[in-house]
Amino acid sequence: MAPALPAGPLEVLERIDIRSVSFPSEFRAAREYSEDPAWADFIDSRQSARFRTFCSAPIEVDGEMAGVVAAFFREEGRSGDAQGAQLGLWCNIAALALDRRRLHDRLAYRAQHDGLTGLPNRALLYESLDQEIERASRGRRLLGMLYLDLDGFKQINDTYGHAAGDAVLQEAARRMTQTVRRGDTVARIGGDEFVVLLPMLGRSEDARQVADKIVQELRKPIQSGHHWLSVSACAGVAIWPLDGDRPDSLLRFADAQMYGDKRRPLGDAPAESRDQPVASSLGKGEVP
């Protein structure tokens, strides 16, 4: 927005639906700038507005309107050729900048997300883990980490092909994401291995409960084409700061717990010594 434009028009322009803006080939009365009722109400209430006419041009990116460049003038009648050409130049520059920004955002997204499932990858997981550890430290709360992998995934790939394996991974990612809270993070760190971050926990046992829910969801058959495919999952749990105070140590602990879960005979329950409220786990009920 140009600094010379009064505060009243600025506030109204920010509320106007961009699809309501008109793009005449010549200068028109300011009232015709937009069909949005908010603009008409503003013009009717400001008979002594500082501008009388306008010209405008759309900013187009990938064949879609991404914005508007508009100029407002105090004079009633003007020749629009020079101003129209200048607006067109500004629109081209803006479109180029927006296109470069979109390309940057796409490349940044691909660098931090798994291409198959759309989940955060290992790089983004470590970045999120650092942030969540800092947040948990400030809030004096626990941070849970689940390390999961799928049992039977290799057999599905070998028997039904990679398309079926991809379908299993995508459905597993969807189920995990739907099982956890909105503020939790589900990441795929490679192959059939996933990590879930559970920030701001009140009790260490809450992480095990979430892990059990995810495991139950993943046991349900997954459809791929005409086949119903079955996998199971093992989960390891680590709690910050009880099981490690850095990302690497937490991942190693959760990974070890997950492999312990794999070796545990069917029907054996996990050890109960760690599934206690914060007060019992820490002795004084506080996170150091």
CA 87, 15, 8, 51 dihedral sign is positive
CATH of the domain at 129: 3.30.70.270
The reported pLDDT for the residue numbered 72 is: 83
The reported pLDDT for the residue numbered 182 is: 92
Look up 192 and say whether it is catalytic.
Answer: yes
Half-sphere exposure of 105 (CA within 13 A, CB side): 6
Query: Does the residue 82 lie in any domain?
Result: yes
Last residue of a domain, one of 54, 78, 112: 112
Shared domain for 44 and 130, answered yes or no, is no
Best CA proximity match to 124, nearest among 135, 113, 110, 133: 113
Residues in the chain with pLDDT values less than 50: 266-267, 269-288
Shared domain for 231 and 99, answered yes or no, is no
**How does strand 232-240 pair with strand 142-151?**
antiparallel
Distance CA 57, CA 103 (A): 23
The reported pLDDT for the residue numbered 126 is: 95
Distance CA 194, CA 216 (A): 15
Query: Does the residue 117 lie in any domain?
Result: no
Domain holding 22, by residue range, is 7-112
Distance CA 68, CA 55 (A): 11
Q: What is the pLDDT of residues 236-256, one digit of tens each?
A: 999 999 999 999 999 999 999
| Ramachandran angles phi, psi of 90, nearest 5° | -60, -40
Q: What is the mean pLDDT of the chain?
A: 85
Q: Which of 114, 149, 192, 243 is catalytic?
A: 192
Is the whole model's pTM more than 0.85, yes or no?
no
The reported pLDDT for the residue numbered 267 is: 45
Helix 80-112 / helix 122-139 crossing angle, nearest 10 deg: 90
